[in-house]
Structures are given as C-alpha cells and as structure tokens.
C-alpha cells in the first residue's frame, strides 16, 4: 500500500518573493554604460491604490533590431545587435512600490498578416494576492509605430494609456502599474 500526499493548496506569491526569485543581473537588461540605455520605471499599486512593497516586475523584449537571441523567435535566434543585451530583466519593488528596468529601446516585431507590432516590452507582474502572474505590455509614448500596433489598437481607446510609458526626462520613461481599481492596467490572457 502506498501513502499518497494530498495536493498543496494554491498560494499567493507571499512575502518571500525576493528570497527565491532574484537574479544576478536584476534590472539591468544591458550592461551599465551601454550607449542608448533608457530607464523605465514606475510604482506598482494594489486595488486600493496603495504601493506594493513586495512585488516583482519581469520584462522580456526584442533588441533594437527587433530580434530575440532565443530559439522561440519565429525567424530563428539571432545574436543581439547590442553587446551584452540579455532581453530579460527582473526588478523587485522597493518599500514604496517603486521599480526600474534599465534597457535599450526594443525594435518592432512582425505580426500576423504582414502587420508590424510597435516596439514594446512584455511584462509579468508578481505580487501578494495573486495566484499567478499577470501579463501586460509597455509601449514608449514617443514611438509613432504605436498608432498602427494591432495589440494596442485592440484595447479600448480610453484604456490604452495604461500601457504607454510617458517620457519623464532624457532616456527616462514612467508607467505606474495598477493591479485593480479605477486606474487598472490592461492585462492580457496568455
């Protein structure tokens, strides 16, 4: 007779997020001092608008040429056009809910039917109260390709601003992420 253990119930991310999910490069998608580096930052808010001090923002993006150094790129993996470009960043929020990723501008990506997706970062958000990550995108406000992006245009016009980081200085962009509430960020089912 074999004893069987019961399934462990689902848990929220919990307070121990930073112990198990940190990674050495952290928020640096490119090495410090890389020409053309930009900073994208904001505050992660819960449904009441309170900053989330124990969350994590994870980003995945193409290089400036619109390519991924990954076998899942449908055009085939390509060496990054920027030396040391990782394509991946991970940042824990600080006690005030702030996060920041240091990267380079992503390039446009091919989409279905010959369309082109505007440069963007894919974003996963992990936080207390979530049983699984939530997924969104960050577009940069000063990119004219945003007007034709098929994903951004699928979002109701009055909610698109929840996906567009505004310029906040030279090479600096800001986008606050709201998990719920009147300013809730648009999240996608993946």
Q: What is the pLDDT of residues 34-66, one digit of tens each?
A: 999 999 999 999 999 999 998 999 999 999 999
Give the pLDDT confidence score for residue 132 in this predicted structure: 84
Among the residues of 31-184, which ranges form H helices? 150-153
**Number of structural domains in the chain:** 1
- Comparing CA positions, the residue from 56, 46, 58 lying closest to residue 93 is 56
Give the pLDDT confidence score for residue 123 in this predicted structure: 97
Domain limits at 79? 17-178
Give the pLDDT confidence score for residue 130 in this predicted structure: 79
Mean pLDDT of 6-15: 52
List all residues 6 or more positions away from 132 whose beta carbon is below 8 Å from its beta carbon.
none
- Comparing CA positions, the residue from 125, 121, 123 lying closest to residue 107 is 121
> 157 in a domain, yes or no?
yes
Q: Is the pLDDT confidence value at 119 over 60?
A: yes
Among the residues of 145-189, which ranges form H helices? 150-153
> 1 in a domain, yes or no?
no
> 48 in a domain, yes or no?
yes
CATH number, residue 164: 2.60.130.10
Other Cβ atoms less than 10 A from the Cβ of 38: the count is 19
> 10 in a domain, yes or no?
no
Give the model's confidence band at 78: pLDDT under 50 very low, under 70 low, under 90 confident, else very high: confident
CA 109 – CA 75 distance, rounded (Å): 10
- Maximal CA-CA distance, the chain: 68
Query: Which residue in the block uniquely carries the two structure tokens 């009441």?
Result: 48
Q: Is the pLDDT confidence value at 129 over 90?
A: no
> 36 in a domain, yes or no?
yes
Give the pLDDT confidence score for residue 23 in this predicted structure: 61
């Amino acid at each position: 007779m074999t004893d069987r253990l019961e399934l462990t119930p689902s848990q929220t991310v919990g307070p121990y997020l930073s112990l198990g999910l940190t990674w050495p490069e952290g928020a640096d998608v490119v090495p410090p001092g890389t020409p053309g580096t930009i900073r994208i930052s904001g505050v992660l808010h819960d449904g009441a608008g309170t900053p989330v001090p124990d969350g994590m923002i994870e980003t995945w993006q193409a290089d400036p040429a619109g390519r991924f150094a990954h076998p899942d790129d449908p055009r085939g993996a390509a060496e990054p056009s920027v030396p040391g470009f990782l394509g991946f960043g991970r940042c824990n929020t600080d006690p005030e809910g702030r996060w920041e990723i240091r990267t380079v501008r992503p390039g446009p990506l091919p989409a279905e039917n010959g369309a082109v997706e505007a440069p963007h970062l894919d974003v996963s958000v992990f936080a207390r109260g979530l049983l699984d990550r939530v997924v969104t995108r960050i577009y940069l406000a000063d990119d004219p390709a945003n007007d034709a992006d098929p994903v951004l245009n699928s979002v109701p016009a009055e909610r698109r601003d929840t996906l567009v980081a505004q310029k906040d200085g030279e090479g600096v962009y800001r986008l606050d992420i709201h998990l719920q509430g009147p300013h809730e960020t648009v999240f996608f089912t993946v």
